[in-house]
Amino acid sequence: MTAVIEVKNLTKRYRDTTAVDDISFTIERDAIYGLLGRNGAGKTTVMSILTAQNFPTAGDIRVFGESPYENAAVLSRMCFVRESQKYPDDATPTHAFRIARLFYPNWDQGVADRLIREFRLPMKTRIKKLSRGQLSAVGVIIGIAARAEVTFFDEPYLGLDAVARQIFYDRLLEDYAEHPRTIILSSHLIDEVANLLEKVLVIDAGRIIMDEDTESIRGRASTIVGETSVVEEFVAGREVIHRESLGRTTSATLLGALSPEDRTELSLAGLDVLPVSLQQLIVRQTQNAVHTDEGALR
Amino acid sequence: MVDEGRPLFLQIAESVEDSIIDGSLSEQEQAPSTNELAAFHRINPATAAKGIAMLTDKGVLVKRRGIGMFVADGARELLLTERRSAFADRYLDPLLDEARKLGLGPDDLARLLAERARTATTKGTSR
Protein backbone atom coordinates (compact mmCIF):
# COMPACT_ATOMS: atom_id res chain seq x y z
CA MET A 1 0.00 0.00 0.00
CA THR A 2 1.27 3.47 -0.83
CA ALA A 3 0.57 6.48 1.31
CA VAL A 4 -1.11 9.50 -0.28
CA ILE A 5 -0.97 11.56 2.90
CA GLU A 6 1.70 11.50 5.59
CA VAL A 7 1.36 13.53 8.74
CA LYS A 8 4.18 13.77 11.25
CA ASN A 9 3.91 15.40 14.66
CA LEU A 10 1.20 17.83 13.58
CA THR A 11 0.19 20.42 16.18
CA LYS A 12 -2.25 23.31 15.85
CA ARG A 13 -2.65 25.90 18.61
CA TYR A 14 -5.08 28.78 18.76
CA ARG A 15 -3.96 31.21 21.50
CA ASP A 16 -4.19 29.10 24.65
CA THR A 17 -6.06 26.09 23.25
CA THR A 18 -4.45 23.14 21.50
CA ALA A 19 -6.81 21.90 18.79
CA VAL A 20 -4.46 19.25 17.41
CA ASP A 21 -1.84 17.81 19.70
CA ASP A 22 1.22 16.22 18.10
CA ILE A 23 -0.48 13.64 15.89
CA SER A 24 1.05 11.38 13.27
CA PHE A 25 -0.73 9.14 10.80
CA THR A 26 -0.74 8.06 7.17
CA ILE A 27 -3.60 7.74 4.70
CA GLU A 28 -3.24 4.95 2.15
CA ARG A 29 -4.26 5.15 -1.46
CA ASP A 30 -7.71 4.02 -2.59
CA ALA A 31 -9.28 3.30 0.78
CA ILE A 32 -12.33 4.80 2.47
CA TYR A 33 -11.41 6.25 5.86
CA GLY A 34 -13.71 7.32 8.64
CA LEU A 35 -12.43 10.33 10.57
CA LEU A 36 -14.50 10.09 13.72
CA GLY A 37 -14.70 11.94 16.99
CA ARG A 38 -16.77 14.34 19.04
CA ASN A 39 -17.47 17.95 18.18
CA GLY A 40 -14.36 20.03 18.73
CA ALA A 41 -12.11 16.96 18.71
CA GLY A 42 -10.01 18.46 15.91
CA LYS A 43 -11.42 16.72 12.80
CA THR A 44 -12.15 19.83 10.75
CA THR A 45 -8.85 21.43 11.77
CA VAL A 46 -6.94 18.39 10.51
CA MET A 47 -8.83 18.34 7.21
CA SER A 48 -8.41 22.04 6.61
CA ILE A 49 -4.67 21.82 7.27
CA LEU A 50 -4.30 18.87 4.90
CA THR A 51 -6.06 20.84 2.17
CA ALA A 52 -3.90 23.93 2.82
CA GLN A 53 -6.83 26.03 4.06
CA ASN A 54 -5.22 26.41 7.47
CA PHE A 55 -1.65 26.47 8.76
CA PRO A 56 -0.10 24.06 11.23
CA THR A 57 1.69 25.41 14.31
CA ALA A 58 4.23 22.60 14.03
CA GLY A 59 4.74 19.36 12.19
CA ASP A 60 5.23 18.04 8.69
CA ILE A 61 2.56 17.24 6.10
CA ARG A 62 3.05 15.51 2.78
CA VAL A 63 0.28 15.05 0.24
CA PHE A 64 1.31 12.97 -2.79
CA GLY A 65 4.81 13.36 -1.35
CA GLU A 66 4.73 17.17 -1.50
CA SER A 67 3.77 20.09 0.70
CA PRO A 68 0.21 21.19 -0.19
CA TYR A 69 0.79 24.92 0.47
CA GLU A 70 0.37 27.08 -2.63
CA ASN A 71 0.92 23.91 -4.61
CA ALA A 72 -1.65 23.93 -7.41
CA ALA A 73 -0.52 20.54 -8.72
CA VAL A 74 -1.40 18.95 -5.37
CA LEU A 75 -4.55 20.97 -4.65
CA SER A 76 -6.26 20.12 -7.96
CA ARG A 77 -6.02 16.45 -7.02
CA MET A 78 -7.89 17.02 -3.75
CA CYS A 79 -11.49 17.93 -3.01
CA PHE A 80 -12.68 19.18 0.39
CA VAL A 81 -16.43 19.20 0.94
CA ARG A 82 -16.93 21.41 3.96
CA GLU A 83 -19.90 21.46 6.21
CA SER A 84 -20.10 25.25 5.94
CA GLN A 85 -18.92 25.91 2.40
CA LYS A 86 -19.36 29.54 1.36
CA TYR A 87 -20.45 30.52 -2.15
CA PRO A 88 -20.67 33.99 -3.74
CA ASP A 89 -23.95 35.76 -2.97
CA ASP A 90 -25.50 35.52 -6.43
CA ALA A 91 -24.21 32.01 -7.28
CA THR A 92 -26.66 29.26 -8.25
CA PRO A 93 -25.93 25.50 -8.25
CA THR A 94 -25.41 25.79 -12.03
CA HIS A 95 -22.54 28.24 -11.40
CA ALA A 96 -21.04 26.11 -8.63
CA PHE A 97 -20.97 23.00 -10.83
CA ARG A 98 -19.54 24.92 -13.79
CA ILE A 99 -16.63 26.11 -11.66
CA ALA A 100 -16.09 22.64 -10.19
CA ARG A 101 -15.97 21.21 -13.70
CA LEU A 102 -13.20 23.63 -14.66
CA PHE A 103 -11.22 22.97 -11.51
CA TYR A 104 -11.33 19.17 -11.24
CA PRO A 105 -9.67 17.35 -14.13
CA ASN A 106 -11.61 14.09 -13.56
CA TRP A 107 -15.04 15.76 -13.27
CA ASP A 108 -17.87 13.52 -14.56
CA GLN A 109 -20.87 15.54 -15.73
CA GLY A 110 -23.03 12.41 -16.16
CA VAL A 111 -22.59 11.55 -12.47
CA ALA A 112 -23.37 15.15 -11.48
CA ASP A 113 -26.55 15.24 -13.62
CA ARG A 114 -27.82 12.01 -12.19
CA LEU A 115 -27.25 13.19 -8.61
CA ILE A 116 -28.93 16.53 -9.34
CA ARG A 117 -32.04 14.59 -10.43
CA GLU A 118 -31.91 12.23 -7.46
CA PHE A 119 -31.53 15.02 -4.93
CA ARG A 120 -34.15 17.09 -6.81
CA LEU A 121 -31.85 20.06 -6.61
CA PRO A 122 -33.26 23.33 -8.03
CA MET A 123 -30.51 24.54 -10.36
CA LYS A 124 -31.59 28.13 -10.87
CA THR A 125 -32.25 29.10 -7.25
CA ARG A 126 -29.54 31.16 -5.62
CA ILE A 127 -27.48 28.99 -3.25
CA LYS A 128 -28.14 31.52 -0.49
CA LYS A 129 -31.85 30.66 -0.70
CA LEU A 130 -31.44 26.88 -0.67
CA SER A 131 -32.47 24.84 2.35
CA ARG A 132 -29.76 23.35 4.56
CA GLY A 133 -30.29 19.94 2.95
CA GLN A 134 -30.11 21.34 -0.59
CA LEU A 135 -26.92 23.17 0.34
CA SER A 136 -25.43 19.91 1.58
CA ALA A 137 -26.54 18.24 -1.68
CA VAL A 138 -24.49 20.79 -3.70
CA GLY A 139 -21.37 19.81 -1.73
CA VAL A 140 -22.05 16.08 -1.95
CA ILE A 141 -22.56 16.27 -5.73
CA ILE A 142 -19.28 18.16 -6.19
CA GLY A 143 -17.46 15.70 -3.92
CA ILE A 144 -18.62 12.64 -5.85
CA ALA A 145 -18.54 14.03 -9.42
CA ALA A 146 -15.08 15.61 -8.96
CA ARG A 147 -13.54 12.13 -8.69
CA ALA A 148 -10.55 13.76 -7.04
CA GLU A 149 -7.78 11.38 -6.00
CA VAL A 150 -8.34 12.41 -2.39
CA THR A 151 -11.79 13.58 -1.28
CA PHE A 152 -12.67 14.86 2.18
CA PHE A 153 -16.29 14.94 3.26
CA ASP A 154 -16.70 16.89 6.50
CA GLU A 155 -20.12 16.07 7.99
CA PRO A 156 -21.57 16.24 4.50
CA TYR A 157 -25.11 15.25 5.44
CA LEU A 158 -26.40 18.17 7.54
CA GLY A 159 -30.06 18.73 6.75
CA LEU A 160 -30.22 15.71 4.43
CA ASP A 161 -33.09 13.38 5.30
CA ALA A 162 -32.69 9.62 5.60
CA VAL A 163 -33.56 9.03 1.94
CA ALA A 164 -31.08 11.62 0.70
CA ARG A 165 -28.34 10.26 2.98
CA GLN A 166 -28.91 6.79 1.59
CA ILE A 167 -28.60 8.18 -1.94
CA PHE A 168 -25.29 9.76 -0.91
CA TYR A 169 -23.89 6.55 0.62
CA ASP A 170 -25.07 4.37 -2.27
CA ARG A 171 -23.75 6.62 -5.03
CA LEU A 172 -20.47 7.19 -3.22
CA LEU A 173 -19.91 3.46 -2.80
CA GLU A 174 -20.94 2.74 -6.38
CA ASP A 175 -18.68 5.40 -7.85
CA TYR A 176 -15.81 4.38 -5.56
CA ALA A 177 -16.15 0.74 -6.66
CA GLU A 178 -15.80 1.75 -10.31
CA HIS A 179 -13.21 4.46 -9.74
CA PRO A 180 -11.24 3.61 -6.60
CA ARG A 181 -9.79 6.64 -4.85
CA THR A 182 -9.04 7.86 -1.36
CA ILE A 183 -12.05 9.08 0.59
CA ILE A 184 -11.98 10.55 4.07
CA LEU A 185 -15.41 10.81 5.61
CA SER A 186 -15.96 12.64 8.84
CA SER A 187 -19.23 11.77 10.51
CA HIS A 188 -21.17 11.63 13.74
CA LEU A 189 -23.57 9.07 12.36
CA ILE A 190 -21.09 6.27 12.91
CA ASP A 191 -23.56 3.41 12.70
CA GLU A 192 -24.78 4.67 9.34
CA VAL A 193 -21.34 4.75 7.76
CA ALA A 194 -19.54 1.95 9.65
CA ASN A 195 -19.95 -0.62 6.86
CA LEU A 196 -18.61 1.74 4.22
CA LEU A 197 -15.33 2.29 6.01
CA GLU A 198 -12.22 0.26 5.42
CA LYS A 199 -10.23 2.12 8.03
CA VAL A 200 -11.05 4.22 11.04
CA LEU A 201 -9.21 7.14 12.61
CA VAL A 202 -10.68 8.38 15.87
CA ILE A 203 -9.64 11.78 17.16
CA ASP A 204 -10.34 12.81 20.71
CA ALA A 205 -9.20 16.04 22.33
CA GLY A 206 -6.74 16.68 19.51
CA ARG A 207 -5.12 13.24 19.69
CA ILE A 208 -5.56 10.07 17.70
CA ILE A 209 -6.90 7.32 19.92
CA MET A 210 -7.67 4.72 17.25
CA ASP A 211 -6.07 4.09 13.85
CA GLU A 212 -7.14 0.69 12.56
CA ASP A 213 -8.94 -1.48 10.01
CA THR A 214 -12.67 -1.42 10.65
CA GLU A 215 -12.77 -5.21 10.43
CA SER A 216 -10.23 -5.65 13.21
CA ILE A 217 -12.30 -3.43 15.49
CA ARG A 218 -15.37 -5.60 15.09
CA GLY A 219 -15.63 -8.01 17.99
CA ARG A 220 -13.07 -5.93 19.89
CA ALA A 221 -15.53 -5.25 22.70
CA SER A 222 -18.55 -7.10 24.03
CA THR A 223 -21.19 -6.48 26.63
CA ILE A 224 -21.84 -9.11 29.28
CA VAL A 225 -25.28 -9.12 30.88
CA GLY A 226 -26.56 -11.12 33.82
CA GLU A 227 -26.84 -11.30 37.58
CA THR A 228 -24.55 -8.72 39.17
CA SER A 229 -22.40 -11.08 41.27
CA VAL A 230 -21.91 -13.50 38.36
CA VAL A 231 -21.03 -10.70 35.95
CA GLU A 232 -18.56 -9.19 38.43
CA GLU A 233 -16.90 -12.55 38.90
CA PHE A 234 -16.41 -12.95 35.16
CA VAL A 235 -15.13 -9.41 34.51
CA ALA A 236 -12.69 -9.36 37.44
CA GLY A 237 -9.21 -8.59 36.11
CA ARG A 238 -10.50 -7.55 32.66
CA GLU A 239 -10.75 -4.08 31.20
CA VAL A 240 -14.28 -2.81 31.78
CA ILE A 241 -15.05 0.35 29.82
CA HIS A 242 -18.66 0.74 30.86
CA ARG A 243 -20.96 -0.59 33.56
CA GLU A 244 -24.70 -0.24 34.14
CA SER A 245 -26.98 -1.87 36.69
CA LEU A 246 -30.70 -2.30 36.93
CA GLY A 247 -31.88 -4.06 40.07
CA ARG A 248 -29.83 -7.22 40.34
CA THR A 249 -28.81 -7.21 36.69
CA THR A 250 -25.53 -5.71 35.53
CA SER A 251 -24.32 -5.05 32.04
CA ALA A 252 -20.57 -4.60 31.69
CA THR A 253 -18.78 -3.69 28.46
CA LEU A 254 -15.38 -5.35 28.14
CA LEU A 255 -12.47 -4.45 25.94
CA GLY A 256 -10.70 -7.38 24.31
CA ALA A 257 -11.92 -10.22 22.13
CA LEU A 258 -13.54 -13.19 23.85
CA SER A 259 -11.85 -16.56 23.44
CA PRO A 260 -13.87 -19.73 22.76
CA GLU A 261 -13.14 -20.73 26.39
CA ASP A 262 -14.60 -17.42 27.56
CA ARG A 263 -17.72 -18.06 25.55
CA THR A 264 -18.18 -21.53 27.03
CA GLU A 265 -17.65 -20.13 30.51
CA LEU A 266 -20.18 -17.38 29.87
CA SER A 267 -22.82 -19.73 28.58
CA LEU A 268 -22.34 -22.14 31.50
CA ALA A 269 -22.65 -19.22 33.92
CA GLY A 270 -25.90 -18.20 32.23
CA LEU A 271 -24.54 -14.81 31.12
CA ASP A 272 -25.60 -13.18 27.86
CA VAL A 273 -23.10 -11.69 25.45
CA LEU A 274 -24.12 -8.75 23.29
CA PRO A 275 -22.05 -7.34 20.44
CA VAL A 276 -20.83 -3.75 20.66
CA SER A 277 -21.17 -1.62 17.54
CA LEU A 278 -18.39 0.64 16.29
CA GLN A 279 -20.46 3.62 17.41
CA GLN A 280 -20.96 2.28 20.93
CA LEU A 281 -17.27 1.43 21.21
CA ILE A 282 -16.19 4.91 20.11
CA VAL A 283 -18.70 6.58 22.43
CA ARG A 284 -17.31 4.60 25.36
CA GLN A 285 -13.69 5.23 24.41
CA THR A 286 -14.09 8.96 23.91
CA GLN A 287 -16.12 9.27 27.12
CA ASN A 288 -13.35 7.55 29.02
CA ALA A 289 -10.67 9.76 27.54
CA VAL A 290 -12.42 12.84 28.90
CA HIS A 291 -12.42 11.39 32.40
CA THR A 292 -8.80 10.40 32.37
CA ASP A 293 -7.39 13.48 30.67
CA GLU A 294 -9.08 16.54 32.05
CA GLY A 295 -6.43 19.00 31.01
CA ALA A 296 -7.00 18.43 27.29
CA LEU A 297 -9.34 20.41 25.10
CA ARG A 298 -12.77 18.91 24.64
CA MET B 1 -28.86 -8.66 8.17
CA VAL B 2 -25.56 -7.45 9.59
CA ASP B 3 -24.58 -8.97 12.91
CA GLU B 4 -22.26 -6.61 14.78
CA GLY B 5 -20.43 -9.33 16.65
CA ARG B 6 -18.89 -11.15 13.70
CA PRO B 7 -16.50 -10.02 10.98
CA LEU B 8 -18.43 -8.63 8.04
CA PHE B 9 -16.43 -10.53 5.40
CA LEU B 10 -17.43 -13.82 7.06
CA GLN B 11 -21.06 -12.81 6.87
CA ILE B 12 -20.69 -11.92 3.20
CA ALA B 13 -19.01 -15.25 2.49
CA GLU B 14 -21.82 -17.05 4.33
CA SER B 15 -24.49 -15.24 2.35
CA VAL B 16 -22.92 -16.53 -0.88
CA GLU B 17 -22.59 -20.01 0.66
CA ASP B 18 -26.27 -19.93 1.61
CA SER B 19 -27.25 -19.25 -2.01
CA ILE B 20 -25.14 -22.21 -3.12
CA ILE B 21 -26.60 -24.49 -0.47
CA ASP B 22 -30.22 -23.58 -1.22
CA GLY B 23 -29.57 -23.94 -4.94
CA SER B 24 -30.29 -20.36 -5.99
CA LEU B 25 -26.69 -20.21 -7.18
CA SER B 26 -25.78 -23.43 -8.95
CA GLU B 27 -22.40 -24.97 -9.71
CA GLN B 28 -20.53 -23.49 -12.66
CA GLU B 29 -22.77 -20.45 -12.51
CA GLN B 30 -21.18 -17.00 -12.26
CA ALA B 31 -21.03 -15.72 -8.69
CA PRO B 32 -21.83 -12.10 -7.81
CA SER B 33 -18.85 -9.77 -8.24
CA THR B 34 -17.14 -7.91 -5.43
CA ASN B 35 -18.78 -4.65 -6.53
CA GLU B 36 -22.22 -6.22 -6.80
CA LEU B 37 -21.90 -7.65 -3.29
CA ALA B 38 -20.65 -4.33 -1.95
CA ALA B 39 -23.54 -2.41 -3.51
CA PHE B 40 -26.15 -4.95 -2.41
CA HIS B 41 -24.99 -5.20 1.20
CA ARG B 42 -23.92 -1.52 1.28
CA ILE B 43 -20.43 -2.32 2.46
CA ASN B 44 -16.90 -1.39 1.51
CA PRO B 45 -15.73 -3.29 -1.62
CA ALA B 46 -12.51 -4.28 0.18
CA THR B 47 -14.61 -6.15 2.75
CA ALA B 48 -16.60 -7.91 0.03
CA ALA B 49 -13.34 -8.82 -1.71
CA LYS B 50 -12.07 -10.41 1.50
CA GLY B 51 -15.22 -12.56 1.70
CA ILE B 52 -14.78 -13.67 -1.91
CA ALA B 53 -11.09 -14.43 -1.31
CA MET B 54 -12.08 -16.67 1.59
CA LEU B 55 -14.40 -18.64 -0.70
CA THR B 56 -11.73 -19.07 -3.38
CA ASP B 57 -9.24 -20.27 -0.76
CA LYS B 58 -11.80 -22.81 0.37
CA GLY B 59 -12.35 -23.99 -3.20
CA VAL B 60 -15.99 -22.90 -3.29
CA LEU B 61 -15.40 -20.32 -6.01
CA VAL B 62 -12.94 -20.42 -8.88
CA LYS B 63 -11.62 -17.50 -10.82
CA ARG B 64 -11.82 -17.51 -14.59
CA ARG B 65 -9.38 -14.93 -15.76
CA GLY B 66 -11.00 -11.92 -17.35
CA ILE B 67 -14.55 -13.17 -16.81
CA GLY B 68 -15.11 -13.37 -13.07
CA MET B 69 -15.85 -15.77 -10.26
CA PHE B 70 -17.70 -19.04 -10.74
CA VAL B 71 -19.11 -21.63 -8.39
CA ALA B 72 -16.75 -24.60 -8.36
CA ASP B 73 -17.81 -28.17 -9.16
CA GLY B 74 -18.58 -29.98 -5.92
CA ALA B 75 -18.98 -26.69 -4.01
CA ARG B 76 -22.42 -27.56 -2.69
CA GLU B 77 -21.31 -30.95 -1.36
CA LEU B 78 -18.28 -29.34 0.27
CA LEU B 79 -20.42 -26.74 2.00
CA LEU B 80 -23.03 -29.28 3.12
CA THR B 81 -20.35 -31.42 4.75
CA GLU B 82 -18.90 -28.39 6.48
CA ARG B 83 -22.24 -27.08 7.69
CA ARG B 84 -23.36 -30.50 8.93
CA SER B 85 -20.27 -30.88 11.06
CA ALA B 86 -20.84 -27.39 12.51
CA PHE B 87 -24.53 -28.04 13.09
CA ALA B 88 -24.20 -29.39 16.64
CA ASP B 89 -22.00 -26.51 17.81
CA ARG B 90 -24.07 -23.87 16.18
CA TYR B 91 -27.62 -25.05 16.90
CA LEU B 92 -27.65 -27.85 19.46
CA ASP B 93 -25.39 -26.29 22.09
CA PRO B 94 -27.47 -23.11 22.48
CA LEU B 95 -30.63 -25.26 22.47
CA LEU B 96 -29.27 -27.43 25.28
CA ASP B 97 -28.17 -24.36 27.25
CA GLU B 98 -31.63 -22.84 27.17
CA ALA B 99 -33.27 -26.20 27.91
CA ARG B 100 -31.06 -26.65 30.97
CA LYS B 101 -32.09 -23.19 32.19
CA LEU B 102 -35.76 -24.12 31.85
CA GLY B 103 -35.36 -27.56 33.42
CA LEU B 104 -36.10 -29.48 30.23
CA GLY B 105 -34.29 -32.83 29.96
CA PRO B 106 -33.18 -34.69 26.83
CA ASP B 107 -36.44 -36.70 26.79
CA ASP B 108 -38.56 -33.53 26.88
CA LEU B 109 -36.48 -32.12 24.05
CA ALA B 110 -36.86 -35.27 21.95
CA ARG B 111 -40.63 -35.14 22.43
CA LEU B 112 -40.84 -31.43 21.55
CA LEU B 113 -38.64 -31.94 18.53
CA ALA B 114 -40.80 -34.81 17.22
CA GLU B 115 -43.97 -32.75 17.73
CA ARG B 116 -42.55 -29.74 15.97
CA ALA B 117 -41.21 -31.77 13.10
CA ARG B 118 -44.70 -33.27 12.63
CA THR B 119 -46.49 -29.91 12.50
CA ALA B 120 -43.78 -28.51 10.25
CA THR B 121 -44.31 -31.35 7.76
CA THR B 122 -48.09 -30.93 7.68
CA LYS B 123 -47.66 -27.18 7.20
CA GLY B 124 -45.17 -27.91 4.45
CA THR B 125 -47.51 -30.28 2.55
CA SER B 126 -50.58 -28.05 2.88
CA ARG B 127 -48.75 -25.20 1.17
Residue A269 pLDDT > 90: no
Determine phi and psi for A221, rounding to 5 degrees: -130, 150
Give the β-pairing of A58-63 and A3-14: antiparallel
- Interval B46-66: pLDDT, tens: 999 999 999 999 999 999 988
Q: Are A210 and A44 in contact (CB under 8 A)?
A: no
Counting one residue from A and one from B, how many pairs have CB atoms under 8 Å apart?
Answer: 62
Considering the domain boundaries, does residue B95 fall inside one?
A: yes
Considering the domain boundaries, does residue B114 fall inside one?
A: yes
B41 plus B14 within the same structural domain: yes
Closest CA to A78 of A51, A56, A101, A58: A51
B14 plus B47 within the same structural domain: yes
Q: How confident is the model at residue A264 (pLDDT cuts 50, 70, 90)?
A: confident
Of residues B90 and A134, which shows the higher confidence score? A134
Q: Are A50 and A68 in contact (CB under 8 A)?
A: yes
Considering the domain boundaries, does residue B103 fall inside one?
A: yes
Residue A296 pLDDT > 90: no
Q: How confident is the model at residue A6 (pLDDT cuts 50, 70, 90)?
A: very high
pTM of the model: 0.84
Residues A168-197, mean pLDDT to the nearest whole number: 94
Considering the domain boundaries, does residue B116 fall inside one?
A: yes
B57 plus B92 within the same structural domain: no
Considering the domain boundaries, does residue B35 fall inside one?
A: yes
3-class DSSP state of A241: strand
B59 plus B17 within the same structural domain: yes
The answer to whether A173 contacts B46, with C-beta atoms less than 8 Å apart, is no
B28 plus B62 within the same structural domain: yes
- Interval A214-253: pLDDT, tens: 988 887 889 999 999 999 999 999 999 899 999 899 999 9
B24: domain range? 8-73
Q: How confident is the model at residue B126 (pLDDT cuts 50, 70, 90)?
A: very low
Q: Which residues of B touch A1 (CB under 8 A)?
A: none
Domains and CATH numbers, chain A: 3-213 (3.40.50.300), 221-275 (3.30.70.2020)
Q: What is the CATH number of the domain that holds B31?
A: 1.10.10.10
B20 plus B49 within the same structural domain: yes
Residues A93-115, mean pLDDT to the nearest whole number: 95
Considering the domain boundaries, does residue B57 fall inside one?
A: yes
- DSSP letter for each residue of A184-213: EEE-S-HHHHGGG-SEEEEEETTEEEEEEE
Question: How many CA atoms, within 13 angstroms, populate the side-chain half-sphere of residue A28?
Answer: 12
Q: Which residues of B touch A222 (CB under 8 A)?
A: 5
Residue A292 pLDDT > 50: no
B61 plus B92 within the same structural domain: no
Rounded to the nearest integer, the mean pLDDT of chain A is: 91
Considering the domain boundaries, does residue B96 fall inside one?
A: yes
Rounded to the nearest integer, the mean pLDDT of chain B is: 88
B92 plus B54 within the same structural domain: no
In chain B, the number of structural domains is 2
Q: Which residues of A touch B2 (CB under 8 A)?
A: 195
B17 plus B65 within the same structural domain: yes
B107 plus B50 within the same structural domain: no
- Interval A26-66: pLDDT, tens: 999 999 999 999 888 899 999 999 999 999 999 999 999 99
Residues B1-6, mean pLDDT to the nearest whole number: 63
Q: Which residue of B has its CA nearest to A264?
A: B93
Partner-chain residue, chosen from A169, A219, A274, that has the shortest CB–CB distance to B7:
A219
Considering the domain boundaries, does residue B32 fall inside one?
A: yes
What is the predicted pLDDT for the residue at A294? 41
B39 plus B68 within the same structural domain: yes
B12 plus B69 within the same structural domain: yes
What is the predicted pLDDT for the residue at B3? 65
What is the predicted pLDDT for the residue at B125? 53
What is the predicted pLDDT for the residue at B4? 63
